[in-house]
Amino acid sequence: MSGPAPSGMPGPASSGPSPRLVVRHAQVWDGESTDLRAHDVLCEDGLVRSLEPAGSIRPGPQDTVLEADGAALLPGLVDAHVHLVWSGGSDPAAVVDEDGEQLTAIRAAANAGAHVRAGVTTVADLGSNWDVAISVARAAERGHLVGPRILAAGRTVAMTGGHDPFWVNPCDGVDAVVRGVRQQAFLGAGIIKTAATGGVYGRAEGEEVGAGELTYEELAALTHEAHRRGLKVTAHALGTEGIRDAVRAGVDIIQHGVFLTEEIVADMAERGTVLSPTLAVYRSIAEGGGPAYAAAKATEVVRAHADSVRMALAAGVPVIAGTDAGSPGMPHPSLAAELACLQDVGLGPVDVLRAATSASGDALSRPVGRIVPGTVADLLVVAGDPLADPVAAASPTAVVSRQRVLTPG
């Protein structure tokens, strides 16, 4: 593998990484602007401290130095929708059934590692059996494994007999959803995931994408309680009625959002509701990446989805990049496929990059996705011009995560 070589590589985990990291001679994209600027970047204790003129920082003997050699430096990427317990096979739920809890936890840990080595330094895990992803998030935080920052929902707070029954914390009625949110918060969830409608992959029978699940009253109570606990809420919502209810209930991020209307996107834009369309996963399932029952439903979704995303963009709804990685045909990581789809439906190259960096950081209320003083120093060195070809960001030559320099490959 060619590319910039880190010097002063950090020692073993027990000794801890060097507190200071200097990235030299980088063409910095800050997560927002429309150009690259030449800088050295000083990072300390895992945060970006300052951006200085290129070549001006003189590193000390203890500092870790990453020589970018004129290559682009981007904020680490964010995937706003993954399932670490699944591995992208044609029927991942069946694999979890066969493996049981312990093997599933180990597989989830391995999947987490695959993300960070490919430059996906933050993920939102929106559903895991046995709350496994909450433990993986904690393990990564404690340095037991190499992984991205993980905002894990654990089990989803959703209705009995609804979408994704394999990892649901079943809650019916206003009191029950409040209790469900409190249970997930107590377990350590970093975000609350719910379902406002049925889905494509899940159950072969009895689940329709347009069918409503939690009621408006339940969604409103759930969202109110999550916000009281400082947690964002994201809802699986494909059908029009369910999306409308979720938006009115104050849900922060709509996942999928397949059947949007002008009225709904206007409401989303006014409230600042974010759309995570996950375009690539439905294409994959429609092309036969999953079970046959799901392919027929996915074909119907793909037809409407692109138009809905364009409608949302025209209304000014913030759009972020989520992959549903782990789902059929979507291995870890799959962000390159989603970035290409977002470009396909009309996002300009810089907006595609924002969707996977600053816009996602904002949507998740985390100080990630930007290279400005005070933000988390998750960084990527990328060859070529990512502002012309945003998909290239998903193939970095070096990754900085948790003060360590990782070289993909």
Catalog residues that contact Zn ion under the rule CB under 5 A. 324
Nearer to Zn ion, 40 or 324 (CB): 324
Q: How far is the CB of 324 from Zn ion (least distance, A)?
A: 4
Tell me if 111 sits within 8 A of 351, measured CB to CB. Answer: no
Question: In angstroms, what is the minimal distance from the CB of 313 to Zn ion?
Answer: 22
Closest to Zn ion by CB, 201 vs 259, is 201
Nearer to Zn ion, 63 or 79 (CB): 79
**Minimum distance from CB of 278 to Zn ion (Å)?**
7
Shortest separation between residue 88's beta carbon and Zn ion, angstroms: 12
Q: For residues 239 and 349, which CB has a smaller minimum distance to Zn ion in the complex?
A: 239
**Cβ closer to Zn ion: 157 or 376?**
157
Residue nearest Zn ion (C-beta atom): 324
Q: How far is the CB of 201 from Zn ion (least distance, A)?
A: 9
State the minimum distance, in angstroms, from the CB of residue 58 to Zn ion: 47
Question: How many of the other CB atoms lie within 10 Å of CB of 9?
Answer: 13
